[in-house]
Amino acid sequence: MEPILELAGLSKVYPGGLKALDDVDLTIRKGEIFALLGPNGAGKTTLIGAVCGLVRPSAGTITAFGYDMARDWRRARSRIGLVPQELSTDMFEPVERAVSYSRGLFGLAPDKARIEEILRSLSLWEKRDERIMSLSGGMKRRVLIAKALAHEPDLLFLDEPTAGVDVELRKGMWAVIDSMRERGVTIILTTHYLEEAEMMADRVGIINRGKLLMVDEKDAMMARLGRTEAHITLAQPLDTLPPAIARFPVELEADGASLCYRGGDGTGKGKAEVAELTKALIGSGIDFTGIETRESSLEDIFVSLLGKEGGVA
Ligand SMILES: Nc1ncnc2c1ncn2[C@@H]1O[C@H](COP(=O)(O)OP(=O)(O)O)[C@@H](O)[C@H]1O
Ligand SMILES: [Mg+2]
């Protein structure tokens, strides 16, 4: 797959000595949705800022569309759109004019039809003559997306596009992002909503304290790191684990009142094994009154990774 963006050895030390990016290597493929996950302060906005020319890297190289950003910044930047994390925009401007202006900033000729198409796709067309300040939070965020799309970028950064947005609007935003992908735009989004990465991303990168800890296909990551957890409530408490179930990854909990299974690999193996376990229980005459099974989410994976690495900063 053709790389659209390559970071090599990218580091950023802010004045004062804080290392916000620590030797990051990352290749983004054309057409993918890449979710960069990390807690607050992990370095996500710094990474985006470095690619968009807002943050000067301390070391490393950034190659976008084959251009070295240090030398050919303008050429590459004109093909990149940025939806910033902060809602800071020209609040007094009417929607349509603000979006047209963004297009002009990159030297593109005015194109009313194109702007109309963008505004319609974001359900902003009816609001085109309203001042941005009069819009709701979710609408303001869409204006930021419209502005970022106005110069028809091939690579779009969305920095926490749904932070502070309610569930309904978040889903609307996902639909918008999906339609951009369908148009062939490569998308890098940052989020700390794991559900968002789970729903949207083809690949996921996990960043903490400036270090990219892991990058993988979302499904592969979940299969590799996912787990099944089952709690089986026993009809009669047990003192010890019966030999018949010793081969399963189980332990007694709640003073022997229930059994806890933790195993599998996120591919359904766990569920099958829990079914085997219940058969073994029945086979050895151990009665149970309930089973609760849960597949671990990206969130569990995330939390356990950050835990191993020394906790959330
Ligand atoms: N302009 C700056 N000067 C000094 N430190 C900064 C600056 N911007 C961000 N930082 C620090 O760099 C770290 C990474 O910040 P940031 O990239 O905004 O993280 P994220 O977007 O993942 O929340 C944080 O510790 C933050 O306080
Ligand atoms: Mg940020």
Judge if 171 and 260 occupy the same domain: no
Query: Last residue of some domain: 207, 223, 239?
Result: 223
**Which class for 46: exposed (0-12), middle (13-18), buried (19 or more C-beta within 10 A)?**
buried
What protein residues have CB closer than 5 angstroms to ion ligand 2? 44-45, 85
Task: Output the CA–CA distances (angstroms, integers) from residue 95 to 130, 136, 175, 203, 252, in the order listed.
Answer: 6, 13, 21, 33, 61
- The pocket around ligand 1, CB under 6 angstroms, is made up of 14, 16, 18, 20, 38, 40-46
Judge if 211 and 239 occupy the same domain: no
Task: Output the CA–CA distances (angstroms, integers) from residue 266 to 36, 109, 189, 220, 229, in the order listed.
Answer: 21, 50, 24, 9, 10
For residue 157, being part of any structural domain is answered with yes
Judge if 143 and 180 occupy the same domain: yes
- For residue 311, the model assigns a pLDDT of 46
Calpha distance 159→266 (Å, rounded): 29
Query: Last residue of some domain: 206, 223, 240?
Result: 223
Return the H-helix or E-strand segment holding 222: helix 218-225
The values of phi and psi at residue 109, to 5°, are: -65, 150
For residue 112, being part of any structural domain is answered with yes
Which of ligand 1's atoms lies nearest the C-alpha of 14? 4
Judge if 285 and 146 occupy the same domain: no
For residue 306, being part of any structural domain is answered with no
Which residues, 6 or more positions from 230, have their beta carbon under 8 angstroms from its beta carbon?
260, 261, 270, 274, 277, 291, 292, 293, 294
Domains identified in the chain, total number? 2
CATH, residue 155: 3.40.50.300
**Domain limits for position 277:** 227-295
DSSP state of 15: T
Calpha distance 158→191 (Å, rounded): 9
Number of H helices, E strands in the chain: 10, 14
Which residues, 6 or more positions from 242, have their beta carbon under 8 angstroms from its beta carbon?
284, 286
Which of ligand 1's atoms lies nearest the C-alpha of 55? 1
Judge if 159 and 268 occupy the same domain: no
For residue 25, being part of any structural domain is answered with yes
For residue 16, being part of any structural domain is answered with yes
Give the Å distance between the CA of 159 and the centre of ligand 2: 7
For residue 308, being part of any structural domain is answered with no
Q: Atom 6 of ligand 1 has which residue's CA nearest to it?
A: 14
For residue 30, being part of any structural domain is answered with yes
Judge if 90 and 149 occupy the same domain: yes
Judge if 154 and 243 occupy the same domain: no
User: Would you give per-residue pLDDT tens digits along the chain (313 residues)?
Assistant: 678 999 999 999 999 999 999 999 999 999 999 999 988 899 999 999 999 988 999 999 999 999 999 888 888 888 999 888 877 667 778 888 888 888 887 778 889 998 998 899 888 999 999 999 899 888 888 898 898 888 889 999 999 887 777 777 777 788 888 888 898 999 999 987 777 888 889 999 999 999 999 999 988 877 777 778 899 999 999 999 989 899 999 999 999 999 999 888 766 788 889 999 999 999 999 999 999 988 776 677 777 777 766 544 4
Query: Last residue of some domain: 165, 198, 223?
Result: 223
**257 half-sphere exposure, CB direction, 13 A CA radius:** 2
Task: Output the CA–CA distances (angstroms, integers) from residue 157 to 176, 282, 302, in the order listed.
Answer: 14, 54, 22
- Cβ atoms 34, 201 nearer than 8 A: yes
Judge if 193 and 258 occupy the same domain: no
For residue 285, being part of any structural domain is answered with yes
What's the angle, vertex CA 21, arms to CA 18 and CA 27, rounded to 5?
A: 175
Sign of the dihedral through C-alpha 72, 73, 74, 79? positive
- Can you read off the two tokens belonging to residue 282? 């029945």
- Can you read off the two tokens belonging to residue 29? 């493929």
Judge if 145 and 286 occupy the same domain: no
Residue that is written with structure tokens 């819009």 in the block = 135
Task: Output the CA–CA distances (angstroms, integers) from residue 35 to 106, 146, 184, 215, in the order listed.
Answer: 26, 20, 17, 10
Judge if 149 and 205 occupy the same domain: yes
Judge if 193 and 239 occupy the same domain: no
CATH, residue 257: 3.30.70
Give the Å distance between the CA of 253 and the centre of ligand 2: 41
Judge if 56 and 180 occupy the same domain: yes
